[in-house]
Amino acid sequence: MARKNPAVPDPAFRPHDHSRCRSKVLAAASRRAREQGLRLTPVRRRVLEILLENHRAMGAYEVLERLVREGWGAQPPIAYRALDFLARHGFVHKVRRLNAYVACTRNTHSDPPLLLICRECGRVGEAEGAGISREIGAIAGARGFAVERLGMEALGLCPACAADGGGEA
């Protein structure tokens, strides 16, 4: 597999046709759900659509507020259950640092992705984490430790925020 030029920003960090991006991810998610025999119920699909509106992570209560405004009901379990399902099946990623969720725009991860979190604008990009995951597994294994779950997050500045001076006063 060819590697992308590292100087080309992740779509989350550069202008792009976001409606095309959103449509592509929703179509891939629907196809994958069908292939895996998963039910992408109307509320699960709507939660995914909400997360796909931009490349920023959203907390469960932000998602719930949107669902309530749209008439889906005001019970927190509706949002939590949908987010849990979507995260468990790889349609979204839990951004632990932010206690929030972001839509998976790649749908091709065999290993956990490296989530690139901009501390200034809040956008979250994804990078393949396979090499990092293998290295961590090897280091842990050499110490007799078996990794069961791995989440990788990097906090920094996206290209636009870095160019703007990184939010410094």
For the stretch 53-95, pLDDT in tens is: 888 899 999 999 999 999 988 787 889 999 999 999 989 999 9
% of the chain at pLDDT higher than 90: 54
Tokens standing for 14?
């550069």
d(CA 91, CA 103): 6
Q: What is the DSSP letter of 100?
A: E
State the average pLDDT over residues 22-34.
91
Check whether residue 61 and residue 99 sit in a common domain. Answer: yes
Check whether residue 89 and residue 130 sit in a common domain. Answer: no
pTM of structure: 0.82
d(CA 42, CA 158): 33
Residue 3 predicted with pLDDT over 60: no
Q: What is the DSSP letter of 5?
A: P
Question: How does pLDDT run across 135-151, given as a tens digit for each residue?
Answer: 999 999 999 999 988 88
> For tokens 């998963």, what's the residue?
38
Check whether residue 133 and residue 84 sit in a common domain. Answer: no
